[in-house]
Amino acid sequence: MTPLKITAELAGPVADYAPRLDGLLVEVAFHRERRPKSEVPRRCDPAPDPMRCPEIPVAREEIGGWPVFRASDPIARRSAPHVAHFGKRIGVERAGLLHPSERKVVVTSNTWTKSYRLPVNVLTPDRVVWFALGDAVRLRDLLRDVAQIGRKVAHGWGRVKRWRVEDSAADYSWYAPGGDGRPVLMRSLPLCPALPADLDGWRAGYDSCCPPYWHSDRYTEVVKPC
C-alpha cells in the first residue's frame, strides 16, 4: 500500500454531494462479486458486520472500535450551490391518436404513473480529489466501473470525464500537516482518545465512519473536517 492521490475530473455538475471514496469502491466491489440480494444492506435491517464488506484496495485500521479505511473525505473547489429540478410525467400529447377503444384513464397521483417535480442541490466543481493509502493498480481497475458520482446519477448528474490515480508525496488519508506543525483532520473519525491530542481543523458531529455510510447503525460521535 502506498500514499495516493485520486482525482475525478468531472464532465458536469454533481447532485447534493461527492461520495466518500471507500463507500464508492465497496459498492463497485459488491457488484463485481455478484453477491446475492440477501446480502444487500437495507435500512430496515441491522447493519452488517463492518469487517464483512467486500475487499477493496485501500488500507484499513481500527480506531475507536471502528475499522476505518485510510481514505480522506472528498475535497472539491468551493462552488455556490444552485437548485435544479428533476421530474417525471406521463406524456398525453398524442393520446388523441389512439383508437377510442384503446384509450384509458391513467391515474397520475400515485404508483409508477405519479407525476413529480422535485428540487435538488447541484454543485459545480471541475474535479473532486481524495487521498488514500492503497494499491494504485487495483484502484484504477475498480474505478473503470465508475462513470458517475453523487446522487441522482440516473438523471445525468455527476458524470466523470477521467479518473487519475497518482502517487502522493505523503499519506494524507487521515491527517495532513498544518502550517504550525499540528495534524489537520482529513476525514471523519470516531471521537476517541486515540485521536492526536493536538488535532486541528475539526468539529464534533454525529455521523458514520465506515460503509454503508447511510445506515443509522453506523452513526456514532465523530470528529469531522471543517
Whether 49 has a pLDDT exceeding 80, the answer reads: no
Predicted local distance difference test score (pLDDT) of residue 223 = 94
Is the pLDDT at 57 greater than 90? The verdict is yes
For the cut 90, the answer to whether the pLDDT of residue 46 exceeds it is: no
Write the pLDDT tens digit of every residue in 168-218: 999 999 999 988 889 999 999 999 999 999 999 999 999 998 888 888 888
- Give the bridge partners for 9, in sequence order: 127, 162
Q: Which CATH architecture has domain 2-81+122-177?
A: 2-Layer Sandwich (3.30)
Quote the percentage of the chain above a pLDDT of 90: 50
Using pLDDT thresholds of 50, 70 and 90, give the confidence band for residue 39. Answer: low
Distance in angstroms (rounded) separating the CA atoms of residues 160 and 176? 26
The cell for 69 is 479505511
Specify the higher pLDDT residue, 197 or 80: 197
Closest of 148, 122, 118 to residue 13, by C-alpha? 122
Is-cis flag, bond preceding 212, omega within 30?
Answer: yes
What is the structure's pLDDT at 102? 81
State residue 48's pLDDT score: 73
What pLDDT does 37 receive? 65
**Phi then psi for 52, rounded to 5 degrees?**
-95, 5
Task: Supply the mean pLDDT for the chain.
Answer: 88
How much is the pLDDT for 94?
Answer: 79
Q: For residue 169, what pLDDT is reported?
A: 92
Q: List strands edge to edge, sheet with 189-190.
A: 189-190, 219-225, 202-208
Dig out the grid coordinates for 74 from the structure. Answer: 472528498
Residue 7 has a pLDDT of 96
Residue extent(s) of CATH 3.30.70 domains in the chain: 2-81+122-177
Q: Are 86 and 155 in contact (CB under 8 A)?
A: yes
Q: What pLDDT score was predicted for residue 78?
A: 80
Q: Grid coordinates 440480494 are at which residue?
A: 37
- pLDDT tens-place string over residues 121-160: 888 888 999 999 999 999 999 999 999 998 888 888 889 9
